[in-house]
């Protein structure tokens, strides 16, 4: 199975990059499954129903979220009717939406997509390890699922690495999101789980994590309130990773994907 994961889509440059490039990549790389983190897709903060539909229309099979899940209030309502949209599983009980979903590929393979949020340098949440455990025991790899993708939305690399090793051999992919910066540690862990500490963002990298540079710089120097952070407006870069998954649901190949103007290009040569 050929799976593409794309990191946080940030505002219009991120959306345009996904909408313009993903349909062609799906075709060229004969992708079976695409998961996209959409937590910053609407002006940098949250996701609207129409934007979620756009990402799905461009070829995303599932859209994951994070700490910005409900920045657009409408998400509180439409998340219930969009089974492909997943918010962190470790929100408190009663939070609208779902922490995991199963999508079916064209060939009938079942992919469990789980989203959890870290607790280090982020809002306190329920235990993400227990939340993942609950989701994967309800839909285990090799039994109810042919592949399992876990998006760990977290600030701390240590927490993401711990999750990778904790799940090694039990899921197909553990990938970090949230920092908007791709890490160079994509690999297959000893038990067969593909891993990357952060997928990076789909957005304008001539920015501070996707936002126009001036106000973040000013605020870090002056420490006084100023204007709202606005999404940067330059051309977006796609960032994420490509994973080949074997018949047992574990990873056999992994490559970084970076396509756009600001970062060194990277492609899965094994699919080209």
Taking CB under 5 A as the binding criterion, the range among 1-9, 189-197, 245-253, 258-266 that sits at the site for Fe ion is 1-9
Q: Does 67 bind Fe ion (CB under 5 A)?
A: yes
Task: State yes or no: is 214 an active-site residue.
Answer: no
Q: List the interface residues with Fe ion, window 152-211 (CB under 5 A).
A: 178
Taking CB under 5 A as the binding criterion, the range among 42-50, 64-72, 86-94, 168-176 that sits at the site for Fe ion is 64-72
Residue nearest to Fe ion (CB): 8
**Closest distance to Fe ion from the beta carbon of 144 (Å):** 29
Tell how strand 85-86 and strand 62-64 pair up: parallel
Taking CB under 5 A as the binding criterion, the range among 24-32, 35-43, 142-150, 260-268 that sits at the site for Fe ion is 35-43
**Closest distance to Fe ion from the beta carbon of 117 (Å):** 8
Taking CB under 5 A as the binding criterion, the range among 3-11, 99-107, 187-195, 236-244 that sits at the site for Fe ion is 3-11
- Cα–Cα distance, 82 to 70 (Å, whole number): 14
**Closest distance to Fe ion from the beta carbon of 58 (Å):** 19
DSSP secondary structure of the chain: -EEEEE--BBHHHHHHHHHHHHHHHHHHTT-SEEEEE-TBTTTTS---HHHHHHHHHHT-SEEE--TTTTSSTTHHHHGGG-TTEE--TTSPTT-SS-SEEEEE-TTS-EEEEEEEE--TTS---S-HHHHHHHHHHHS-BTTTBSEEEEEEE-S-HHHHHHHHHHHTTTSSEEEEESSSSB-S--EE-TTS-EEES-B--BB-SSSBTTB-SHHHHHHHHH-S--SPP-B--S--BEEEEEEEE-TTSSEEEEEEEEESSSS--B--GGG-
**Closest distance to Fe ion from the beta carbon of 67 (Å):** 4
- Specify the residue, 39 or 61, whose C-beta has the smaller distance to Fe ion: 39
- Specify the residue, 68 or 186, whose C-beta has the smaller distance to Fe ion: 68
**Closest distance to Fe ion from the beta carbon of 98 (Å):** 18
Please check whether residue 64 is in contact with residue 176, taking contact to mean a CB–CB distance below 8 angstroms.
no
Binding mask 114-153 for Fe ion (x = CB under 5 A): ----------------------------------------
Total binding residues for Fe ion by CB under 5 A? Answer: 6
Instruction: Please select the residue that binds Fe ion; options are 4, 8, 91, 154, rule is CB under 5 A.
Output: 8
- Specify the residue, 40 or 115, whose C-beta has the smaller distance to Fe ion: 40
Which residues in this chain contact Fe ion in the complex, by CB under 5 A? 8, 39-40, 66-67, 178
Looking at the annotation, which residues are catalytic? 68
């Amino acid at each position: 199975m050929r799976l593409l994961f794309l990191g946080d889509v940030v505002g219009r440059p991120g959306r345009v990059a996904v909408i313009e490039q993903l349909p062609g990549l799906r075709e060229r790389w004969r992708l079976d499954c695409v998961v996209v983190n959409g937590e910053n897709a609407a002006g940098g903060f949250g996701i609207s129903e129409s934007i979620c539909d756009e990402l799905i229309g461009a070829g995303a099979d599932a859209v994951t979220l994070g700490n910005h899940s409900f920045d657009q209030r409408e998400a509180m309502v439409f998340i219930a009717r969009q089974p492909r949209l997943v918010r962190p599983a470790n929100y408190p009980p009663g939070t609208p939406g779902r922490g995991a979903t199963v999508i079916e590929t064209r060939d009938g393979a079942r992919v469990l997509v789980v989203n959890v949020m870290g607790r280090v340098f982020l809002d306190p949440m329920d235990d993400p390890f227990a939340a993942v455990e609950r989701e994967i025991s309800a839909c285990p790899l090799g039994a109810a699922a042919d592949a399992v993708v876990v998006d760990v939305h977290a600030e701390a690399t240590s927490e993401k690495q711990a999750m990778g090793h904790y799940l090694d051999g039990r899921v197909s992919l553990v990938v970090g999101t949230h920092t908007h910066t791709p890490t160079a540690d994509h690999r297959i862990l000893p038990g067969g789980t593909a891993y990357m500490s952060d997928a990076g963002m789909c957005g304008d990298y001539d920015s501070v994590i996707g936002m126009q540079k001036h106000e973040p710089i000013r605020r870090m120097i002056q420490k006084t309130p100023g204007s709202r952070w606005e999404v940067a407006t330059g051309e977006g870069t796609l960032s994420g990773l490509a994973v080949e998954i074997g018949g047992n649901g574990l990873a056999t190949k992994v490559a970084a994907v970076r396509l756009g103007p600001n970062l060194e290009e990277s492609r899965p040569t094994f699919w080209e």
